[in-house]
């Protein structure tokens, strides 16, 4: 049965049931006069609030005044609440057995006085416990519902039902938690049953003061009786409970100052002669009437209206509490204690020795709401993007980017510095801070690099979960990427083997004799300039244009991906089976994180934005020279479905219990090499105005940081406050003229023994240049010297001194690897001080500059080149992109990370070179053009002895060994 009432939203979510009468609340409130000796009727001084007879003006207890006070109080709360949030709309959901218009009517009238909505859910009279629980669970999860009223027979209110009901929505105060709060006297955190509130309110209107008065509750069982007893005792009354069968009932009644009667049926009453003069009698009869002709009693009852008014007040209070919960919450972070050992154990031993906090506890400590969390086991969880809507008015915290000097092949520890910094900020300086890290690819994990969770006592834990699968984002990217690849080859096969008519018939199939375009097909028609929606109305030429993408096999740019280092997939031939009818072509695999979908994930600022970006990915070119997109293939909607969970950042924690977002992991050469925009935005809201978000850029500052500023900050609109530039004595010696450093071979003696000359050379070349690059963007720089055990104090002091001379705001040694956050306190303080100074951020180039000039600007100002040299192919591609309207995209240089130049062997700060641009490609979905400087490998290979030789699993304990 669907009730449609003005201003009231009503829905029925379950099957129809036999009509039943009102679940009635019958009340009679009487006051005995000193001379009354017989019947409570006629000329006796009596207030009878009978059903069908509203209280008369001036008679006894003033229902109108009670009702008016409750309504006015509720209105004030509504006004205050709507000042904070004008869009708030409280909603009461009533679950009842049977169809009861009268119950809805009385609650509707009270709701109308306060501007709230009502949803009525009518279940069958014989509804089962499971069916009730199913409806309750739906309402618990519905954020638009602020109150749930279970108008059900007592037998249906089982402990299982009551424990299922969310106490924060239990506006009738019958859940176990709310009753417990009431018993403990905590009436401000939960809800009081409206009937109990109404009865006590009426008693307070009695002429005699309530303090010390005795109230007898007869037949008061269950939550209502408990609630009344607690409320009365809280008001200074003495509440006694009795039963109808008690032999001494008459004596108890005659001694009471007020009597409240509970029961069912008209026979529930006491003889008038039992009631002492001046005592009040309130009769509450809660029954389910099965008679369809039962009089509409409760809708006329003063007590019924007052009860409904208190129920509505509870709904409004619940809405207010919900709104308060939506506000920003100060952190209550409990850090985890570290006990660093010497010598420092392996990374996995350190990680395993620390027990992480449950992720829901971490979320609560950092101001996340339970409904914003999607747990993946005990230690990690996805965070919903609704957080951005909830905290949209919250000012952002300070934004810190961790970059590095040009690294050795061993890496210089940007991840460990990032983690050590947030551990120092939160666990030691007690400042809110979030680390935002990229998700590592499993290819390097099993190849040469090992894990990427940090190292030593600056790690994300559990490191096994961080490095292996995490929450499946890379697998989702792999599936989405390869769906596009499958769609490309399948479409080329079908176009090559079918006529236009056959293609159209299959692309727009007849269902029940009717052909309809899907929404994505209508979108393609509009892009083709065909503004028709009826398949039968297309001309033969329009059919041909619609069904044929006419992809040029030699100009397909989309490759398949796999998250494994597999050099033999770099170039492959597909279509060799006879079933593919000669559609053979060469293609290849990239590693999964090189997929454009990964770059899109990192740059999208909403699900809607991601869907648009996925749609405009260019997968190849038609024979007529037109770009073909994922939307042309008809696959973009399916891609969004595969990626709908991957867009949510994953919450984890450091060794010291500080929060970390792990999200996205695009390549830092053909893509921009930064974690996601969304992770940064969520974290900036959570840390608050005085907090810090520390994110990491891949490779050296000339690559990762430059792309962070020119690509990521353009996409996000965010502006950084501080650059932390990571350096090591090892890398500085290399740039100062030291011998080559190779992974897997022992370090030459120059890197183990003190050598101030090499350190000085590296500082005055590469370190100085990287500081200058940061200053091009107007952001202050703090140099973080990641200290190794072979570094001498003289070398450490020299680096810090020269770094300051080169323009760094500060330069400090960091010992987080061996000491955790304690070893980076000096860095944290330096970052805090630098963030307090003005940041005059600016982009390196105007986005509307010609593509060639944008490339030249980066080459000259960032890399130190004299000029650029474009190949004929690169020039042709730039002309093509300009013709297609892509000239205003930012530039993502694909260059070696081992040198500021294009020559990996050139260390320090090379000058006097011309940067060759071999080719220029575009990632239309991600939104950048990437020039290729030299040859870029997007599929790593395995070395002679990969890391997987050392990785193993104990089948008994399930412990993993060999990750580092």
| Active site members | 414, 416, 438, 449, 668, 699, 788, 817
Kindly compute the dihedral angle of the four CA atoms of residues 872, 877, 882, 883, in this order, to the nearest 10 degrees: 100
Tokens 């000058």, residue located: 911
Burial class (CB in 10 A: 0-12, 13-18, 19+), 836: exposed
DSSP code of residue 767: I
Number of neighbours of residue 37 by Cβ within 10 angstroms: 11
Kindly compute the dihedral angle of the four CA atoms of residues 214, 220, 223, 226, in this order, to the nearest 10 degrees: 20
Q: Are the C-beta atoms of residues 203 and 258 closer than 8 Å to each other?
A: yes
**Residue 686 DSSP SS3:** helix
- By DSSP bridging, strand 572-574 and strand 585-587 are antiparallel
* Alpha carbon distance 67, 306 (integer Å): 5
Q: Which of 860, 668, 862 is nearest to 766 (CA)?
A: 862
Encoding tokens for residue 499? 């006529």
Cis upstream peptide for 663 (omega within 30°): no
163-181 burial by CB neighbour count: b if 16+ within 10 A, else e?
ebbbbbbbbbbbbebbbeb
Q: Which of 697, 665, 660 is nearest to 434 (CA)?
A: 660
* Alpha carbon distance 274, 263 (integer Å): 18
DSSP code of residue 887: T
* Alpha carbon distance 891, 851 (integer Å): 8
Strands (E) in 753-863, as ranges, are 781-786, 810-814
Q: Are the C-beta atoms of residues 261 and 268 closer than 8 Å to each other?
A: yes
Tokens 């079908």, residue located: 494
Encoding tokens for residue 137? 């669970």
* Alpha carbon distance 453, 419 (integer Å): 9
* Alpha carbon distance 907, 934 (integer Å): 17
Encoding tokens for residue 605? 């600022």
Encoding tokens for residue 733? 């010696």
- Number of helices (H), then strands (E), in the chain: 34, 36
| Strand partners for 238 | 214
Cis upstream peptide for 311 (omega within 30°): no
């Amino acid at each position: 049965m669907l009730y449609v009432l003005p201003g009231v939203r009503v829905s029925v979510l379950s099957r129809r049931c036999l009509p039943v009468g009102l679940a009635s609340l019958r009340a009679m409130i009487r006051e005995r006069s000193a001379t009354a000796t017989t019947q409570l009727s006629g000329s006796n001084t009596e207030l009878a609030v009978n059903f069908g007879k509203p209280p008369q003006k001036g008679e006894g207890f003033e229902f109108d005044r009670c009702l008016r006070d409750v309504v006015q109080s509720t209105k004030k709360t509504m006004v205050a609440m709507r000042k904070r949030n004008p869009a708030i709309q409280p909603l009461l959901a009533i679950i009842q057995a049977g169809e009861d218009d009268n119950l809805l009517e009385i609650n509707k009238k009270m709701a109308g006085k306060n501007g709230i909505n009502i949803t009525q859910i009518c279940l069958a009279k014989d509804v089962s416990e499971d069916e009730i629980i199913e409806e309750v669970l739906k309402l618990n999860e519905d954020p638009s519902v602020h109150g749930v009223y279970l108008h059900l027979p007592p037998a249906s209110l089982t402990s299982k039902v009551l424990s299922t009901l969310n106490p924060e929505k239990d506006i009738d105060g019958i859940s176990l938690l709310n009753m417990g709060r009431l018993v403990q006297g905590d009436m401000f955190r939960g809800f009081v049953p409206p009937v109990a509130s109404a009865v006590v309110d009426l008693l307070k209107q009695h002429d005699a003061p309530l303090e010390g008065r005795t109230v007898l509750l007869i037949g008061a069982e269950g939550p209502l009786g408990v609630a009344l007893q607690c409320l009365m005792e809280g008001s200074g009354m003495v509440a006694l409970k009795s039963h109808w069968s008690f032999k001494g009932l008459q004596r108890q009644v005659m001694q009471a100052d007020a009597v409240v009667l509970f029961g069912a049926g008209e026979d529930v009453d006491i003889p008038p002669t039992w009631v002492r003069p001046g005592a009040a009698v309130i009769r509450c009869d809660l029954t389910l009437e099965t008679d369809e002709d039962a009089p509409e009693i409760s809708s006329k009852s003063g007590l019924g209206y007052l009860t409904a008014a208190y129920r509505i007040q509870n709904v409004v209070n619940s809405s207010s509490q919900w709104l308060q919960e939506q506000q920003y919450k100060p952190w209550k972070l409990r850090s985890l204690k570290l006990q660093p050992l010497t010598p420092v154990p392996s990374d996995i031993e350190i990680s395993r020795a620390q027990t992480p906090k449950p992720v829901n506890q971490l979320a609560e400590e950092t101001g996340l709401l339970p409904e914003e969390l999607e747990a993946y086991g005990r230690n990690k969880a996805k965070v919903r993007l609704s957080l951005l809507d909830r905290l949209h008015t919250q000012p952002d915290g300070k934004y810190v980017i961790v970059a590095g000097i040009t690294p050795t092949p061993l890496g210089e520890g940007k991840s460990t510095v990032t983690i050590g910094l947030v551990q120092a900020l939160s666990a030691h300086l007690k400042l809110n801070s979030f680390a935002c890290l990229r998700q590592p690819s499993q290819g390097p994990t099993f190849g040469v690099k090992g894990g990427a969770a940090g190292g030593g006592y600056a790690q994300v834990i559990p490191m096994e979960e961080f490095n292996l699968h995490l929450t499946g984002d890379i697998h989702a990217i792999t599936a989405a990427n390869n769906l596009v690849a499958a769609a490309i080859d399948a479409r080329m096969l079908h176009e090559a083997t079918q006529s236009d008519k056959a293609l159209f018939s299959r692309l727009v199939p007849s269902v029940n004799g009717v052909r309809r375009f899907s929404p994505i097909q209508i979108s393609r028609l509009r892009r083709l300039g065909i503004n028709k929606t009826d398949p039968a109305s297309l001309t033969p030429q329009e059919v041909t244009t619609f069904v044929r993408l006419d992809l040029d096999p030699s100009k397909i740019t989309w490759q398949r991906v796999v998250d494994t280092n597999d050099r033999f997939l770099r170039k492959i031939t597909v279509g060799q089976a006879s079933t593919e009818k000669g559609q053979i072509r060469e293609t290849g695999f990239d590693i999964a994180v090189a997929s454009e979908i990964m770059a899109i994930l990192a740059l999208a600022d909403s699900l809607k934005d991601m869907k648009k970006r996925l749609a405009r990915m260019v997968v190849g070119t038609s024979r007529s020279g037109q770009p073909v997109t994922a939307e042309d293939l008809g696959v973009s909607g399916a891609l969004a479905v595969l990626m709908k969970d991957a867009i949510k950042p994953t919450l984890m924690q450091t060794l010291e219990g500080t929060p970390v977002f792990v999200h996205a992991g695009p390549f830092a050469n053909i893509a921009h090499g930064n974690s996601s925009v969304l992770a940064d935005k969520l974290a900036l809201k959570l840390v608050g105005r005085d907090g810090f978000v520390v994110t990491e850029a891949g490779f050296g500052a000339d690559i990762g940081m430059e792309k962070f500023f020119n690509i990521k900050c353009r996409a996000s609109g965010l502006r950084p406050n501080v650059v932390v530039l990571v350096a090591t004595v090892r890398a500085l010696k290399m740039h100062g003229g030291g011998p080559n450093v190779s992974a897997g071979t022992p370090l030459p003696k120059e890197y183990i023994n003190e050598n101030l000359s090499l350190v000085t050379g590296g500082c005055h070349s590469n370190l100085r240049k990287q500081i200058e690059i940061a200053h091009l963007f107007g952001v202050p720089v703090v140099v973080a010297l990641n200290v190794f055990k072979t570094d001498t104090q003289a070398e450490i002091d020299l680096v810090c001194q020269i770094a300051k001379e080169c323009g760094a705001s500060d330069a400090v040694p960091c010992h987080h690897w061996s000491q955790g956050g304690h070893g980076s306190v000096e860095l944290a303080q330096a970052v805090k001080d630098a963030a307090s100074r003005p940041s005059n951020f600016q982009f390196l180039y105007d986005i509307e500059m010609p593509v060639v000039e944008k490339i030249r600007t980066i080459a000259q100002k960032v890399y130190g080149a004299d000029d650029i040299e474009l190949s004929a192919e690169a020039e042709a591609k730039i002309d093509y992109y300009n013709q297609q309207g892509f000239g205003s995209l930012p530039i993502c240089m694909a260059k070696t990370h081992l040198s500021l130049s294009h020559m990996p062997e050139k260390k320090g700060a090379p000058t006097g070179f011309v940067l060759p641009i071999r080719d220029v490609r575009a990632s239309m979905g991600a939104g950048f053009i990437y020039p290729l400087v030299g040859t870029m490998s997007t599929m790593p290979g395995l070395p002679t002895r990969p890391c997987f030789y050392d990785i193993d699993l104990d089948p008994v304990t399930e412990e993993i060994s060999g990750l580092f």
